[in-house]
Amino acid sequence: MARYKAIVEYDGTDFLGFQRQAAGRTVQAELEVALNRIGWSGKAVLGAGRTDTGVHASGQVIAFDLDWRHGEGNLLRAANANLPPDVAVKSVEACTPDFHPRFSARGRRYRYTIYNAPVRAPLVARYAWQVWPSTLNLESMQAASRQLLGQHDFAAFGADPEGGENTQRVVSLAEWSAPTTGTLLYFDIQANAFLYRMVRSLVGALKCVGTGELTVEVFGVILASRERSKCPPLAPPQGLSLIEVIY
């Protein structure tokens, strides 16, 4: 019996999130069904992050124990042969028995995509938040994002996923970019860990900075307030993707 680490990609549109639930389709359940078909008999696949309903991933990390004697390449092919089209295992490798995708992680990186244009784009609608009629001010959004760097109490932007009161997090990257014609805007953020719905809360507030509804200074006041009620509405889930888990 060996423990395997796998990187998983999925389109979260038709899932109720990663974590298995009593009812409804989840990524974890699909992975467990696929692994069951090739001999896995564990209780639960371990995951690095519990992405929400509609949230995507290109770098989700899972681990599972399996008695497999046919090589890692064949394991990759066998897993993918039993997965639905909206989930894929990108790589798989044997790891140490004590590896845990969540508790071994040193950080995570997410990307949020905004489509800032007046006409809908069917080819990006599942993966971006269309914001209009305002043309977003990327410079102001960038200035506000710089206030996120370092260690802060992010209680205004999320809740402790464990149900406790630990809302301190360390952000090492918070940056906007527009590498195309300016209609697609990307927000990349990396931290040692994230609060529940923290990224979507931040993007919702930063979008308000971009439209002029909030100033850069007021964004900083919201951050310092630790008051959830002061945060603007969440950004929708389809623009968010888990890009990488750092070990």
User: Domain end: 95, 115, 145, which one?
Assistant: 95
| Helix boundaries (H) for the chain | 27-36, 72-81, 138-146, 198-211, 216-225
**133 preceded by cis ω (within 30°)?**
yes
153 and 232 in a single domain? The answer is yes
* 34 falls within a domain: yes
pLDDT of residue 70: 96
Q: Look up residue 104 and give its amino acid.
A: S
Number of domains in the chain: 2
Q: Could you list the active site residues?
A: 52
pTM: 0.96
Q: How many residues in the chain?
A: 247
pLDDT digits (tens, 9 = 90+) for 33-55: 999 999 999 999 999 999 999 99
Kindly state the average pLDDT of the residues 200-206: 98
Grade residue 182 by pLDDT with cuts at 50, 70 and 90. Answer: confident
pLDDT digits (tens, 9 = 90+) for 101-160: 999 999 999 999 999 999 999 999 999 999 999 999 999 999 999 999 999 999 999 999
User: Domain end: 49, 65, 95, which one?
Assistant: 95
117 and 239 in a single domain? The answer is yes
